[in-house]
Amino acid sequence: MQDKNQPFQLDEEFVEMLTEAQQKIHGFILKRLVDHHQTNEVLQLTNIVLCRKANDFQIGTNFMAWALTVANFQILSFRKNQSRERLIFSDRTFDQIIEEDGKRPDDTSFRLSHLNECLKKIDKENFKLLKARYERRLSFKEIANVSRKTSNAIRIQMHRIRNQLMICIEKRMKEELS
């Protein structure tokens, strides 16, 4: 059992999987809580649990399924704590929302059209980084070696680019809906 006063000992592969999963975990939580502040809070709690339980994860199994299961438990725990503080949906209503969400068509193609437009706004250096990571499927370490940066610097830069794209997509979607 990890001592709470000891720093986490995470291997690079786990950190890479966790980093790549952030947007999907965020989206999963956001669909269930709707509120961005609550979503960010639950995402942080989820990341803490995932890091603490990193040694429980078996490399080669489905990381995303495991991470979303942890996120779901964090959502339930958060909702339970919130129910003590103020009025929220009942479990039955919450279950109905989840059921309806499963029936809704995926808005992937809608988002992809906006992504294409947002990609046009990315500067050349960041666009090359995206292509190296997603088109050529290079690891952060491989990109770092070529660019003479640390893999951590590449991770941070990729996180910023993804956030920039997410903000651009959300803005375009809001504009289209108004």
Q: Give residue-wise pLDDT tens across range 146-175.
A: 988 998 999 899 999 988 988 888 888 777
150 backbone dihedrals φ, ψ, rounded to 5°? -80, 155
Contacts 24+ apart (CB under 8 A), 39-48: 41/78, 42/71, 42/74, 42/75, 42/78, 43/71, 45/74, 45/77, 45/78, 46/70, 46/71, 46/74, 47/18
Residue of higher predicted confidence among 2 and 60: 60
Annotation: CATH topology of 106-178: Arc Repressor Mutant, subunit A (1.10.10)
Top-tier CATH class for 8-104: mainly alpha
pLDDT for residue 35: 81
- The reported pTM is 0.47
Residue ranges of domains in the chain:
8-104, 106-178
**For 102-123, how does the pLDDT look when each residue is reduced to its tens digit (9 = 90+)?**
554 455 666 778 888 889 999 9
